[in-house]
Structure 1
Amino acid sequence: MSRSAVNRTILLVVGIVLIGGGLLLLAGGFDLYDRLDTAVPDGWPLTSPDQPVLSEASRARWSGQDWWWPVAIAVPALVVIGGLAWLWVQLHRVGPGTVTVPVPGGDGVALRMRNSALQDAVESEIVELPGVDKVTVRATGGSHRLSLRAVVRLLPGTHPGEALQSLDAGPLENARTSLGLAELPTEIRLRATARRPGAGPKPPRVV
């Protein structure tokens, strides 16, 4: 799973929890259950403005157990540590999905290029190779840990080994040279196209 997908998932879960908790507090604080004459289940939290969020019985229910205080301390600590770790990862990204491209003869001058531009450039070269029908490239990481993931669809009859050699000697070598990288880790998934492009629709199956 990519970093952006993980971030969206975390934000979605946190948002749902906060919105749900806020709605419960508002419903009880404005006494909506009584105004709307709505029956709530037993033990439902905060059903009226005068009711505390946690009753005295709920607060003291587990306090006498040996495991209660270690858990009460460990759980918030883990939440705080996890939040700080997530924030540290976000702050240590190299730009908003960008890579650094050195300028030839620029005496140390470099340009910042978005990952999407790099993806488009590599895709445009790969799709021009013989036997390639379609390609999707994703760039992950920053300039110091850049890697590529490519899904390449090959036309029927294309030899996978020859396609990989063409990929490495052509588009990938060009990318390494342009970025000034000795290595560019790349994960390539080869898939076969079911039929040649331009072919008509499959005939209906007769049962």
Structure 2
Amino acid sequence: MIHNEKEAYEVYCAYAHHIGFSVRKEHDTFWPNSRNLKMKDFVCGKTGFKKELNVAQTVKYKRIGTRSGCLTIIGYAIDVKGDWTFKKFIESHKHSLANPGDKHLLLSSRKISEFNANVLRSMTQLGIRPRDVFNFLATKVGGVENLKCTKIDVFNLIQREKRYKIENDDANALLQLFIERCADDSMFE
């Protein structure tokens, strides 16, 4: 029995990883006059088609289209009490599925565990390069495919935390500066 959106997403992601496709969240329908979910759909990552660009619009880089019009979907209906039930399930893919050796690269399967994130933080704070920490973690779990993340995920985690720390420190330093100037300068009173 599914009890909430997070649980539904995790169950479907586990199924998708086993089969060999990626998942994304799709349609939300809400009960009238509330923010409570009424229906929720999860689809294959290749569902739909890429939007066509304007002819007049120029782009610097053109990405390869990854969408193939796949019809795979799982839909849930959520009643007023919050109980989740299956509404629809279509399992037909219009594309090839991931090979067993490539399943760890699927976007919905990638996640840095809290333990690995803590190891990553502590080792990079000691001055070890993120690439070396990634290789260390991959060795410890028996290979990159068992790590459930990529080097890019590791670099993104480190950069996001550095940026957050810098932004918070800058804001706090500016706030402290204003507080000091208020105390010293009568103009700020």
Which one has more relative contact order, counting CA pairs under 8 Å at least 6 apart?
Answer: 2
Computing the radius of gyration from Cα coordinates, the structure with the larger value is: 1
The question of a shared fold, defined as TM-score above 0.5 by the shorter chain, is answered with: no
**TM-score, normalised relative to structure 1:** 0.22
